[in-house]
Amino acid sequence: MFFKLRADFRIIFERDPAARNWLEVLFCYPGLQALMFHRVAHGLRAIGIPFIPRFISHIARFLTGIEIHPGAVIGEGVFIDHGMGVVIGETAIIGDYALIYQGVTLGGTGKESGKRHPTIGENVVVGAGAKVLGNIQIGNNVRIGAGSVVLRDVPSDCTVVGIPGRIVYRSGVKVSPLEHNNLPDSEAQVIRSLVNRIEALEEQLQELQETRENVKTPVLVSVGNFFTEEEKIIKPAPACNIRDKAIQEFFDGAGI
């Protein structure tokens, strides 16, 4: 337990530029304090002591705003940054050197017994407000975007964004765990593809209409009480460009 706490302490200086001295980290970082409480509670629970481990976790929740069930297994070098609102369930497993931000939930999806919480691999980053639910496996070096809801297994070396979480592979690209601005926008990419497809179809329709531009089409014209047939040239309708300002601003990330 001592070696894990030492790793938890050291990782803060590597990942948080605001950490300036050991005294500040020890007394002003609720993520570290919550892990200290948890490691004591988890150790007591492992030897079969009732009630006290759960009571320790309850005190830690009151003091830090972070709720970690004593049954959760947490590796070394885990950093819970800010931490307010973090909930980690009883059967959750967190690998070494994971980075967890405020508002994260590692929870279950029902009242099933047994393993019902996620297993998080090593060097995983879980963005602020993300929800990882159910007995699922999150591989190593995975990055989960802020606000994402993950309900399925995620292989290693992937990025997950959206609701529900969608996997975006990042093969061969090394990304800093603090580089939150380098997440793909899968919704914008899908909309861009649809817009490109619609415009391509409109161009094809315009070409077909232009080939008929000089074709005279018979139409009925009213003359008094009679109808006569005349031939007129029907001009094609102009193509519509749907790349308006609102769509382009969405592509450029306005309001995001």
Q: In whole angstroms, what is the distance from residue 1 CA to residue 56 CA?
A: 16
Please state the domain extents for the chain: 2-182, 186-251
φ, ψ at 156 (rounded to 5°): -65, 155
**pTM of the entire predicted model:** 0.68
Q: In whole angstroms, what is the distance from residue 66 CA to residue 42 CA?
A: 15
pLDDT recorded at residue 170: 59
State both tokens at 209: 């209409």
Q: In whole angstroms, what is the distance from residue 110 CA to residue 48 CA?
A: 26
SS3 category, 50: coil
Per-residue pLDDT of the chain in tens (256 residues, 90 and over written 9) = 667 778 888 888 888 888 888 888 888 889 899 999 999 999 999 999 989 999 999 999 999 999 999 999 999 989 998 889 999 999 999 999 999 999 999 998 877 778 899 999 999 999 999 999 999 999 999 999 888 999 888 888 888 888 888 777 655 454 555 555 555 555 666 677 777 788 888 888 887 877 766 555 565 555 555 555 555 555 555 555 555 555 665 555 544 3
Dihedral (CA of 18, 24, 26, 31) sign: negative
CB atoms under 10 Å from CB of 127, counted, come to 21
SS3 category, 135: coil
State both tokens at 26: 């020890």
The CATH superfamily assigned to 2-182 is Hexapeptide repeat proteins (2.160.10.10)
